[in-house]
Homo-oligomer: A and B are copies of this chain.
Amino acid sequence: MSSKSKKNKTDKVKKNQKPGLRKAGNGLSPWEIVKISRHPARPVFQDYLKLIFYNFIALHGDRRFADDPAIAGGFAKIEGNKIIVVGHYKGKNTEENIERNFGMAKPEGYRKALRLMRLAERFNIPVVTIIDTPGAFPGIEAEERGQAESIAKNITEMAKIKVPIVAVVIGEGGSGGALGIGVGDKILMLSRSIYSVISPEGCASILWRDAAYAPDAAKALNLTADALLKLDVIDEIIEEPSKGAHTGINKTAENVKKSIIKNLKLLSNLSVDELLENRYKKYSNMGKFADKKTS
Contact = CB atoms under 8 A, between A and B. Distances in A.
A153 B62 CA distance: 13
A107 B64 CA distance: 9
Contacts of A146: 63-65
Nearest to A145: B65
Contacts of A153: 63
Interface in A88-114: 107, 111
Contacts of A65: 64-65, 145-146
Size band of the interface chain A makes with B: under 10
A153 B63 CA distance: 10
A149 interface: yes
Contacts of A111: 64
A249 B140 CA distance: 46
Which of A64, A111, A146 neighbours the largest number of chain B CB atoms within 10 Å of its CB? A64
Contacts of A145: 64-65
Interface in A124-149: 145-146, 149
A64 B106 CA distance: 12
Contacts of A64: 64-65, 107, 111, 145-146, 149
Interface string A111-123: 1000000000000
Nearest to A108: B64
Contacts of A63: 146, 149, 153
A111 B149 CA distance: 15
Interface centre among A65, A111, A145, A149 (most CB of B within 10 A): A65
A98 to B, nearest CB: 23
Contacts of A107: 64
A63 B157 CA distance: 15
Interface string A146-165: 10010001000000000000
A145 B145 CA distance: 12
A115 to B, nearest CB: 12
Interface in A31-81: 63-65
Nearest to A63: B149
A80 B217 CA distance: 60
A65 B111 CA distance: 12
A149 B65 CA distance: 11
A145 B107 CA distance: 14
A106 to B, nearest CB: 12
4 pairs of A and B residues whose beta carbons are closest in the complex: A64-B64, A63-B149, A65-B145, A64-B146
Given A63-B153, A64-B146, A65-B146, 10 more contacts: A63-B146, A63-B149, A64-B64, A64-B65, A64-B107, A64-B111, A64-B145, A64-B149, A65-B65, A65-B145
12 contacts: A63-B146, A63-B149, A63-B153, A64-B64, A64-B65, A64-B107, A64-B111, A64-B145, A64-B146, A64-B149, A65-B65, A65-B145
